Amino acid sequence: MVKSSVLGYPRIGADREWKKALEAFWSGKLEEDAFHERLRGIRLDHLRKQREKGIGIIPVNDFSYYDHVLDTAAMFGIIPKRFAYEDGPVPLSVYYGVARGTKDAAASEMTKWFNTNYHYIVPELDGAAPAVTENKPLAAYREAKEALGIEGKPVIVGPLTFLKLSKGYRPAETDAWLDRLLPLYVQILKELESEGVQWVQFDEPILVTKLGEDDVRRLQTVYATFADAAPNVNLMLQTYFESIGNYEDVVGLPVQGIGLDFVHGLSGNLASVKKFGFPEDKALGAGVIDGRGIWKASLGDKLALLDELNELVPAERLIVQSSCSLLHVPVTAKNESKLQAELKDALAFADEKLDELVLLAKAAASGKSAIQAELAACERALQALKQSDDRNRANVQLAVAEVSAKDAVRSKPFAERYVAQQNKWNLPIFPTTTIGSFPQSADVRKARQLWRKGEWSIDRYAGFIRDQIDTWINLQEEIGIDVLVHGEFERTDMVEFFGEKLAGFAFTQYGWVQSYGSRCVKPPIIYGDVAFEGAMTVEETKYAQSKTGKPVKGMLTGPITIMNWSFVRDDIPREQIAYQLAYALRQEVEALEAAGIGMIQVDEPAVREGLPLKEEEQAAYLAWAVKAFRLTTCTVQDATQIHTHMCYCEFHDMIDSIEAMDADVISIETSRSHGELIHSFEENTYKLGIGLGVYDIHSPRVPGVEEMTGMIDRALRVLDPKLFWINPDCGLKTRGAEETVASLRNMVEATRIARAKHAAEA
């Protein structure tokens, strides 16, 4: 009998109940006991749903109070010293302090989870004395069994992945740290074995990246140790997001199951299984349903794939599962009442993917005839979308093919543009600016809601937005910022806003996914050919510029970020989608310039998120990603200054590609990573304008002048003072007005000090 399973389920709830509980607790509106009980209710509801859908092996311990990597660190007492943690179970005050920062301690670094839009908290090993503080997987297993009678599958971040994603140790210390961590994992595993747990899922997505011989040796040590310590537990070594490169080494490990991604790693994993076979003593977790995409699977194609696998792995050792955790997709499509029928019928969110898994397991066990009606309905839905007018805009396809066939270059090199721009703007040394957005208060959100409901006219809403712009233009001038922004008060989300104004996009009502912590986003769906339909940002930007003599930046989201932060169609290459977006955004850039806006920022925070995990595929991706940005910006005049922004990713290994984007000024996050990006510029000369963020906007704390001055001084040791800008890490949308003003005042004061130190270099 073929079993079904998933690797994890979305924690946020269909109506973001999880997010609301977290924020109520943080604001003091929910006591800690009530908070625990509310999250327990959400957690049990998710388990109950999977059981009722018919999932055979249900994951537990995939639920989190914030982030699963932070959970693992807390389980082992790996808490930075600055949070004054001593021992025992980590209090929520400390747990959330590590994630969000406190008045006295900066938050731990946050970065992307492989090539997804989910961000995890980076464990800091420096100075840590790890010990098991509590057995979280065991508690989750007991809860599921006692409350619902579910024999759950505890999910644990594997040792090699956890160690590789941590910081605060030298490469030479890797084995020593593994020696410290391994007994803790063994303790967890032995306690699970004593409880009678049948399956434990160890997530090791690091195995889809390039591993050295030492890493393979470590992997063998880890799982041989586990096998000896807990021989009565079935271990599922789970990989995802790509194919594994060390196939023979991995399948030779002493575990009872190997989980492989047959969606994003289809070609590599299938080729390996066919070439080398699959061990007779192991179960194959076949990840055939896309855990990251929102499109209905072609059930016929998936059954054909399962038939291929079944030739090598008998049905009793085949587990049909998602390619990765369903954390990356919305909860359910059933409540989406406003989407056109041909689009809604082609969607599958988490709950619909559960149904697909159960259907595939049924058909794999009993034959296609067992799901014949579902197969036919699936094919009709997919064909209807494929043949729609929205996916066949011939004029867009022709125009994009024409512009993308040409080189995308500015008319003059940066050195000549720099002179033209300095002559035009006459900016001081170390110009100050912000990244774009200012606090969206409750009043701003309420006004937008009233307008969307039709209770406010468009004129009233536009007047309200102008009032907000007036307030913050005046504040920026009073604080002493050099290059201003209009504040983006009319925008809900930096991707959604543009998607609503471009053809080819659709928007859900409840399609939320977790980005980091309680931050949930509702990614647009790029389902058709993308087309420009009229100016999107000109009105507000032009109004803001009319209220000041200082330059105001036009603010756009770049093509790669819009693509990577959307759910995209899967019938054409992503490169083609990027060029369609670039061509549409180019027309907006040209409209801003025609309206007199001489500085235009095209944000690309998500370029790194789309980087393939396989090294051999990265150069091609970066080439067309850079080209898409340049297609967007290359037609402006020499004196028009193009800015871009990137945040919360590791950019040290793609500095050359960032420079190739040829933006006149780039701002990059650096404070949350405690300035580590600055190391990149000690070995790489950067010849364009650059601003390294001097404070973390994702923490409510107000950083002091001395702290920012230290960051500036460090950056100026390796960067040209004439090209250096000073700015926060990211947009200020989520911050309060009072803390924003206080932080920006400190930033300007730190800039004043820096200017005094470096006046001779101006």
Q: Is the pLDDT of residue 546 over 90?
A: yes
Residues in the chain: 762
436 vs 228, higher pLDDT: 228
Q: Is the pLDDT of residue 207 over 60?
A: yes
Question: Which residues are documented as binding site?
Answer: 16-19, 112, 117, 435-437, 488, 519-520, 565, 603, 609, 645, 647, 669, 730
**pLDDT in the model for residue 676:** 59
Q: Which whole number is the average pLDDT over 744-749?
A: 95
Amino acid at 275: K
For 698-743, write each residue's pLDDT tens digit. Answer: 777 888 999 899 889 888 888 899 999 999 988 888 888 999 999 9
Distance separating alpha carbons of residues 486 and 266, to the nearest angstrom? 46
**pLDDT in the model for residue 675:** 56
Question: Which residues are documented as binding site for L-homocysteine?
Answer: 435-437, 488, 603
| DSSP states along 295-309 | BPP-HHHHHHHHHHH
Distance separating alpha carbons of residues 389 and 345, to the nearest angstrom? 16
Q: Which whole number is the average pLDDT over 24-46?
A: 98
**pLDDT in the model for residue 677:** 62
Asked whether the beta carbons of 254 and 224 are under 8 A apart, the reply is yes
Distance separating alpha carbons of residues 298 and 72, to the nearest angstrom? 36
658 vs 270, higher pLDDT: 270
For 100-141, write each residue's pLDDT tens digit. Answer: 999 889 999 998 899 998 999 999 999 999 999 999 999 999
For 576-615, write each residue's pLDDT tens digit. Answer: 999 999 999 999 999 999 999 999 999 998 888 888 999 9
| Secondary structure letter of residue 123 according to DSSP | P
Distance separating alpha carbons of residues 492 and 511, to the nearest angstrom? 15
Query: Domain count of the chain?
Result: 2
**Same-domain check for residues 364 and 430:** no
**Same-domain check for residues 234 and 88:** yes
Distance separating alpha carbons of residues 150 and 147, to the nearest angstrom? 8
User: Which of the listed residues 386, 421, 447 is the one where a domain comes to its end?
Assistant: 386
**Same-domain check for residues 84 and 233:** yes
Q: Which whole number is the average pLDDT over 144-149?
A: 98
**pLDDT in the model for residue 732:** 83
Q: Is the pLDDT of residue 672 over 60?
A: no
Tokens, residue 304: 């054909």
**Same-domain check for residues 382 and 407:** no
Q: Which whole number is the average pLDDT over 497-515?
A: 95
3-state secondary structure string, 683-720? HCCCCCEEEECCCCCCCCCCCCHHHHHHHHHHHHCCCC
How many Cβ atoms are within 10 Å of 720's Cβ, its own excluded? 15
Of the pLDDT bands very low, low, confident and very high (cuts 50, 70, 90), residue 693 is: confident
Percent of the chain with pLDDT over 90: 85
Query: Would you give the distance in Å from CA 281 to the centre of its chain?
Result: 37
CA 211 to each of CA 49, 176, 190: distance values in angstroms, whole numbers, following the listed order: 38, 18, 28
**Same-domain check for residues 335 and 451:** no
**pLDDT in the model for residue 651:** 64
**Same-domain check for residues 424 and 370:** no
Q: Which residues contact residue 37 at a Cβ distance below 8 angstroms, ignoring those fewer than 6 apart?
A: none
Task: Give the domain range for residue 92.
Answer: 3-386
**Same-domain check for residues 201 and 53:** yes
Distance separating alpha carbons of residues 386 and 500, to the nearest angstrom? 22
Tokens, residue 83: 């949070």
Question: Which residues are documented as binding site for L-methionine?
Answer: 435-437, 488, 603
**Same-domain check for residues 399 and 311:** no
**pLDDT in the model for residue 696:** 76
Of 218-232, 416-430, 607-621, the poorest mean pLDDT is in 607-621
Distance separating alpha carbons of residues 530 and 664, to the nearest angstrom? 27
Helix (H, G, I), strand (E, B), or coil: what is residue 222? helix
Tokens, residue 329: 């997709």
Q: Helices 266-276 and 299-310, interaxial angle, to 10°?
A: 20
Residue 119 appears among annotated catalytic residues: no
Tokens, residue 469: 């712009």
**Same-domain check for residues 371 and 460:** no
Paired sense of beta strands 153-157 and 199-203, if any: parallel
Domain with 713 in it: what CATH number?
Answer: 3.20.20.210
Distance separating alpha carbons of residues 204 and 222, to the nearest angstrom? 12
Tokens, residue 326: 């369903």
User: Which of the listed residues 386, 402, 424 is the one where a domain comes to its end?
Assistant: 386
Asked whether the beta carbons of 261 and 290 are under 8 A apart, the reply is no
Q: Which residues contact residue 584 at a Cβ distance below 8 angstroms, ignoring those fewer than 6 apart?
A: 502, 530, 531, 532
Q: Which whole number is the average pLDDT over 302-331?
A: 96
Which of the residues 46, 264, 328, 698 is marked catalytic?
A: 698
Q: Which residues contact residue 223 at a Cβ distance below 8 angstroms, ignoring those fewer than 6 apart?
A: 235, 237, 253, 254, 255
Strands (DSSP E) contained in 216-330 are 234-238, 257-261, 283-289, 318-322
- H or E stretch at 689: strand 689-692
Asked whether the beta carbons of 121 and 90 are under 8 A apart, the reply is no
Tokens, residue 72: 């693992």
Q: Is the pLDDT of residue 49 over 90?
A: yes
The separation between the first and the last C-alpha atoms of the chain, rounded to the nearest angstrom, is 75
Q: Is the pLDDT of residue 679 over 70?
A: no
For 257-284, write each residue's pLDDT tens digit. Answer: 999 999 999 999 999 999 999 999 999 9
Paired sense of beta strands 525-532 and 519-521, if any: unpaired
Cα atoms found within 13 Å of the Cα of residue 634, Cβ hemisphere only: 19
For 431-462, write each residue's pLDDT tens digit. Answer: 999 999 998 989 999 999 999 999 999 999 99
Percent of the chain with pLDDT over 70: 97
For 380-426, write each residue's pLDDT tens digit. Answer: 999 999 999 999 999 999 999 999 999 999 999 999 999 999 999 99
**Same-domain check for residues 382 and 409:** no
Q: Number of helices and strands (H, E) in the chain?
A: 27, 21
What is the overall mean pLDDT for the chain?
94
**Same-domain check for residues 234 and 312:** yes
User: Which of the listed residues 386, 406, 432 is the one where a domain comes to its end?
Assistant: 386
Distance separating alpha carbons of residues 201 and 178, to the nearest angstrom? 19
Question: Which residues are documented as binding site for 5-methyltetrahydropteroyltri-L-glutamate?
Answer: 16-19, 112, 117, 519-520, 565, 609
φ and ψ at 319, to 5 degrees?
-115, 120
Asked whether the beta carbons of 308 and 262 are under 8 A apart, the reply is no
- H or E stretch at 568: strand 567-568
**pLDDT in the model for residue 397:** 96
**pLDDT in the model for residue 653:** 72
**Same-domain check for residues 339 and 404:** no
Angle ∠(192,198,199) on CA atoms, nearest 5:
90
